[in-house]
Amino acid sequence: MSGGIWELRRDEITGWWSATVVDREFEPQRFHEARTPGAREEGCTNCTQADAAAVTRRVLRQGAFHSVGTRMDAAAGESGFLTLSDVDRAGSWSTLIAPGREHGELDEVPVAMVSAFLMAIRDHLRSARDLGATAYIQFVRNAGGQAGAVIAPFASRSAFETWVIPTTHSADFADTDTATINGFANTLQTAVRALRAIGMPPYNLMLHTAPLRERVDGTYHWHWELHPRLRPIGGLELASGIPVVPISPEEAVAELRRALA
């Protein structure tokens, strides 16, 4: 696809706006960023606490399921805002750790390990949902210094943004069975592998699923979002709140499909 695209786009499902600004022909090398995987292996704190053969969970902030603070709670505070000192009322923080000395990219490790991560996430959601003390848990994988089916949303918020979605409808990832997770792990690896077409840039991978305290089965569809980090956030984006994407989603998905083919 040629350059010269200047479009404001609105996602009809989420309501998000983005600007697609393509000023030249697609050139993969524009998006490449050097990665040094070996550097992660030296002095890895997680490796010292990891199980030698299984995925483990490391709690970074004690207390697994705190109740969530509200605006009323904040208003009652001295400053009127929740601060870091209020973290016990606002939630906790933990990380899932791969087996010791495993630092491979998501598409390089055995698919069984990806399944193990997904099942650990599912089981964590189930436990939190059963306990009923937490409103939502957000799961994110950050790769790099910045950082079912595969689709590119019409109003992408980042270049090469990709959604990985289950082909059967489900609102809550906690309800996912093991067979579905095993198949989905393979699709997730495929989505990450496609990023090698643009040099495997830093990326954020995040789960979007139903809240723990309410049922939204008829209106929500759980999915994972993959956001490559190909360029710094510009002044226009910071000022307007509208992401600027330097490649159209149509061309981005075509490049990813070519890479997978």
Q: For the domain that residue 174 is a member of, what is the CATH number?
A: 3.30.428.10
On whether residue 28 sits in a domain, the answer given is no
Which domain, by its residues, includes 148?
117-261
pLDDT above 80: residue 255: yes
Nearest to 127 by CA among 220, 216, 212: 212
What average pLDDT does range 13-19 have in this prediction?
A: 78
More confident residue, 57 or 225: 225
| 190-214 tens-digit pLDDT | 999 999 888 888 899 999 999 998 8
CB proximity list for 2: less than 8 A, separation 6 or greater: 25
On whether residue 1 sits in a domain, the answer given is no
Predicted pLDDT at 4: 64
On whether residue 13 sits in a domain, the answer given is no
CB proximity list for 6: less than 8 A, separation 6 or greater: 19, 20, 21
pLDDT above 90: residue 122: yes
DSSP state of 154: T
pLDDT above 70: residue 77: no
Beta strand 203-208 pairing with 223-228: antiparallel
Give the separation between CA 160 and CA 172, rounded to whole angstroms.
26
On whether residue 192 sits in a domain, the answer given is yes
Rg of the chain in Å (alpha carbons): 20
Q: Which residues pair with 9 in a beta bridge?
A: 18
pLDDT above 90: residue 260: no
pLDDT above 60: residue 67: no
Structural domain count of the chain: 1
% pLDDT > 90, the chain: 26
Q: Torsion over CA of 181, 187, 203 and 115, rounded to 10 degrees?
A: 30
Beta strand 17-22 pairing with 244-245: parallel
DSSP 158-204: STT-EEEE-SS--S-GGG--HHHHHHHHHHHHHHHHHGGGGT---EE
On whether residue 56 sits in a domain, the answer given is no
On whether residue 20 sits in a domain, the answer given is no
More confident residue, 39 or 101: 101
Relative orientation angle of helices 178-194 and 249-260, to the nearest 10 degrees: 100
Q: The pTM is what? A: 0.69
On whether residue 106 sits in a domain, the answer given is no
Residue 65 confidence class, pLDDT cut points 50, 70, 90 = very low
| 129-167 tens-digit pLDDT | 998 878 888 888 877 654 466 878 888 888 899 999 988
On whether residue 52 sits in a domain, the answer given is no
198's torsion region: left (phi>0), alpha (psi -120 to 50) or beta? alpha
Give the separation between CA 85 and CA 177, rounded to whole angstroms.
38
